[in-house]
Structure 1
Amino acid sequence: MPKRVDHEQRRAQIAEALLRVAGERGLHAVGMRDVAAEAGVSLRLVQYYFQTKENLLLYGLHHLAEGLGARVGARVAAAGGEGGPRSVVEAVLLESLPTDEESRVFHLVYTAYAVLAVTDEALAAQPFIDGPRAAEDLLTRQLEAAREEGAAVPGLDARTEAIGLLAMSAGLGTSVLVGQRSAEAATAVLRHHLDRLFGGTPAR
């Protein structure tokens, strides 16, 4: 009998190859032929699944966001089950910092997507901003929960603080990528601000 193909697994394989190539050469330099070679499949197969480079880039963006979500979940679980609001907030922010090869590729490629979204109508229309909006909503909910539990400073403006934390994380991540500071220094800055918001309560 012919071997049954898991199409979603094959798409993910190709998307992973896209992210590796983009992490090495930059998103602007990625071609479908390069991705096929990296994935160890034919160009025809990449075209079969995605038809155009635009479709491949859109799928790659979703795959990138899913990977971040999985790593955040793993970090929260490693901290002890679901953890408190600070655990979730800290996990989201720290996973966005380029502290290892996987997170370095994430930050580099995600930043490249942000630049591309400025001029690419398909990315700018909705897909790119969906991820940042979801992260902002998640952090806002966690900060609101912490405020209601008395685990955050009184009167905390959850939405404003969520926006500020995400912007800070993005800026710190870029500063690590370009060698302005170490990942450890960036992590210390983020935790300093979390201590301010959560009254010095460590993540549990």
Structure 2
Amino acid sequence: MPRLADHEERRRSITGAARRVIARGGLDAATFQSVAVEAGVSVRSVQYYFGTKREFLLATHRAVVEDSGTRMTQGFAALGPDAGPRDIVRTILLAILPLDEPSRRDAVILGIFHAATLTGPDVESADTVQAPNFIVDAVAGQLRQLRGPGADEQTLVADAEVILLAVGGLAQGMLTNDDYASRATQLVDHLLDRVLVA
């Protein structure tokens, strides 16, 4: 009796193919046909699993974000139970930086999606804000712990936003500037020294 297809595995295979296509040629290159060829499946399979180009693009974006989440989870596990707010924020930030080849490719893809929210019809800014909002909330939560219950909520959120924007800029800079790439963790530590004050 033939084994039933693992639908989640097939979806991951297709979004993995879409990531490779997007990293090489941008969102315009990611068609049903090009992704099907890259994944080694039929165009009909891509359509079956995702329905529209927009659906498979958003699923691909989610897959990239989930990989960052996995890196965060692994980083948290390495920290241990006694980690303080600085260690936790540092782990979050390092998980979103392109520090190795897979995360570098993901940063390229996220940059392409960001550009598409400005110029293309397939992706809107509302489609991509969930992950940055999560990071801002997580960093603000650690700042709240560090600064205590009397801390001003607006300041906490603004500081968390500044941290995310700075590291997002660093991530994009690392893609084209080897000096930034070589000093990324030092620059993150410098940022935290400046912002993570009680």
Residue number in structure 1 paired with 2:101: 101
TM-score (norm 1): 0.85
Residue number in structure 2 paired with 1:110: 110
User: How many corresponding residue pairs?
Assistant: 197
Question: Residues 170 and 180 of structure 2 are in contact (CA less than 8 Å); yes or no, is this contact kept in structure 1?
Answer: no
Q: Does 1:165 align with 2:163?
A: yes
Q: Does 1:196 align with 2:185?
A: no
**C-alpha RMSD over aligned residues:** 2.4
Cα separation, partners in 2 of 1:180 and 1:100, compared to 1, 3 Å: closer
Residue number in structure 2 paired with 1:134: 134
Cα separation, partners in 2 of 1:81 and 1:103, compared to 1, 3 Å: farther
Question: Residues 175 and 181 of structure 1 are in contact (CA less than 8 Å); yes or no, is this contact kept in structure 2?
Answer: no
What amino acid sits opposite 1:171 in the alignment?
G
Q: Deviations over 1:9-47 (max 9, x none)?
A: 211111111112222222332222222222222222111
Q: More displaced, 44-53 or 23-32?
A: 23-32
Residue number in structure 1 paired with 2:181: 183
Q: Report how far residue 195 of structure 1 moved.
A: 2.0
Q: Deviations over 1:136-171 (max 9, x none)?
A: 11111121112229xxxx879321111111111111
Cα separation, partners in 2 of 1:197 and 1:83, compared to 1, 3 Å: same
Q: More displaced, 23-32 or 160-169?
A: 23-32
Residue number in structure 2 paired with 1:202: none
What amino acid sits opposite 2:11 in the alignment?
R
